[in-house]
Structure 1
């Protein structure tokens, strides 16, 4: 069952998409177009819908520091594996430890802290971690984009 927070995040994303990102400046220069991603996903009892569209000129004007922090956090193989596991739903540290062995518990907490600092995971209760509802599709889009770069067309 989806939580209220996940349902609210999905609803906010849909409203933003319907408004066309009204809070963001429109690209009025030579550059035009849109970079979009979204879709629907279901993992167990959890369902998400997402649609995001951004002007390319606006994207390339964003400050690189916060963006690089997210990409760096996701860019480590163990952390990307954690995201792949957690995007399906919350997991206890013991389950994560089992799936990521032989990583030490200290290494696991280090990776979870890094992902948490970047906003890619949260701890809804003691000893349990998940990807926040607002980050489900961005995480899936990061994985999809990396897959498109790696796999031949």
Structure 2
């Protein structure tokens, strides 16, 4: 058996330890994990970072795959650059966001997503108020684009609004 060259082996082990530490630090999420919480796998964020132009302010992407109780399925993703969002006139979006600012409208959207689609089905739900109140809330949601009427007295959340609605709700969740 040949003798082991101690200085060379020591240098190689030191270099390996340094590289392992470097790899561990690269793999750590950029956002610290709160004490007691499980580490988060930032697979979507890592993919976004790989696509964002260097020197830009960044981007925001949301995506979802949704199976509704009605059997409908939606796969959806959308993104914006931070520059586009910060330069936009947010006041243009006030009525769209404002339509979600009423508890009865949120309940109404939940009921429609669950499969209650006709005004008769919705009108039988006392939590949605009187017939006049129901029509008022339906009109607000239709005007804001959160609902559409596919036939007289039938309502649905447009497919392109299902994931964005759930994203808004996720963002509002305390």
TM value normalised by structure 2: 0.63
> Counterpart of 1:71?
97
Report whether the alignment pairs 1:40 with 2:65.
yes
Quote the RMSD (CA, aligned, Å).
2.3
Note if contact 2:116-2:122 (Cα within 8 Å) is conserved in structure 1: no
Aligned length: 123
Q: What's the CA shift string for 1:106-129, capped at 9, x where partnerless?
A: 000000101111111111011111
Q: Which residue of 2 aligns with 1:109?
A: 135
* TM-score of the superposed pair, with normalisation by structure 1: 0.71
81 and 56 in structure 1: CA distance in 2 versus 1, 3 angstrom threshold: same
Q: Distance in 2 between matches of 1:56 and 1:70?
A: 20
Distance 1:138 1:58 in 2: 18
In the TM superposition, 1:1-153 aligns within 5 A as 32-43=57-68, 44-89=70-115, 91-101=117-127, 103-147=129-173, 150=174
Shift of 1:56: 1.6
- Mark the structure with the bigger radius of gyration: 2
Distance 1:65 1:59 in 2: 12
* 1:47-89 CA distance string (max 9 Å, x none): 1001112112211222223311111001111111111222344
**Counterpart contact for 2:104–2:127, Cα < 8 Å:** no
CA deviation digits over 1:23-49, x for unaligned, max 9? xxxx98965211111110011321100
**C-alpha spacing 1:33/1:102, structure 2 compared with 1 (3 Å):** closer
The alpha-carbon distance between structure 1 residues 59 and 102, as it changes in their structure 2 partners (threshold 3 A), is: closer
Moved over 4 A (4+): 27-31
Alignment partner, residue 7 of structure 1: none
Q: Does the C-alpha gap of structure 1 residues 102 and 86 become closer, same or farther in structure 2, counting only changes over 3 Å?
A: closer
- Greater RCO between the two (CA within 8 Å, min separation 6)? 1
